[in-house]
């Protein structure tokens, strides 16, 4: 099973979500939250094409990569789940490091909040960390579907109706 950056971010959100996603149980993409997320990505920086390139890593695509400074740019809607964003970005850096890009850096931007955050890559420490995530994710995927979170934590999840439809 390929561990994608999405999976790594789900590892930090909900193990069940990770499992469902990895087993190709997906929800319709018609949710407004998703649409809004897309729109921010599509319209916020239309003029950046010059500096930023798209970079295809096979298991993931980075929309904004600056090859001069080895920086990636990640745009998020809200910083509520910032630890999951952090993890996802660390994983990007790990993948970049693996293909030989020196000292990659990431900037996470929350345009709605006017906040930016820089995430650096610390070769030794981060390598172990990311690899432990990959192992954890792998174990979860191979197991049975994990339990649900507390319902109060699920309210905004696209799997809400799936998980909580019972009887």
Q: Which is nearer to other proteins, 1 or 99 (CB)?
A: 1
Chain positions 8 to 27 lying near other proteins, rule: CB under 8 A, are 23-26
Minimum CB–partner distance for residue 158 and other proteins (Å): 12
Minimum CB–partner distance for residue 41 and ligand SF4 (Å): 22
CA–CA dist 71, 107 (Å, integer): 7
Choice from 13, 107, 136, 162 touching other proteins (CB under 8 A): 162
Q: Which is nearer to other proteins, 3 or 87 (CB)?
A: 3
- List, as one string, the DSSP characters of 123-163: HHHHHHHHHHHHHHHHHHHHSPPPPP--HHHHTT-TTHHHH
Task: Collapse the DSSP code of 33 into the 3-class scheme (helix H, G, I; strand E, B; otherwise coil) and give the result.
Answer: helix
Specify which residues 55 forms β-bridges with.
62
Which chain residues interact with other proteins by CB under 8 A? 23-26, 28, 144-145, 151, 160-162, 164-167
């Amino acid at each position: 099973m390929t561990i994608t950056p999405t999976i790594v971010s789900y590892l930090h959100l909900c193990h069940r979500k990770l499992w469902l996603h990895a087993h190709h149980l997906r929800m319709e993409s018609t949710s407004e939250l998703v649409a809004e997320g897309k729109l921010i990505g599509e319209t916020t920086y239309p003029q950046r094409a010059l500096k930023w390139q798209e970079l295809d890593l096979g298991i993931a695509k980075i929309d904004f990569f600056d090859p001069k400074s080895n920086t990636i740019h990640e745009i998020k809607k809200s910083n509520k789940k910032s630890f999951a964003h952090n993890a996802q970005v660390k994983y990007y850096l790990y993948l970049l490091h693996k293909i030989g890009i020196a000292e990659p850096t990431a900037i996470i931007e929350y345009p709605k909040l006017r906040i930016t955050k820089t995430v650096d890559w610390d070769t030794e420490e981060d390598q172990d960390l990311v690899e432990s995530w990959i192992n954890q994710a792998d174990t979860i995927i191979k197991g049975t579907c994990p339990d649900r979170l507390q319902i109060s934590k699920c309210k905004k999840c696209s799997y809400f109706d799936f998980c909580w439809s019972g009887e």
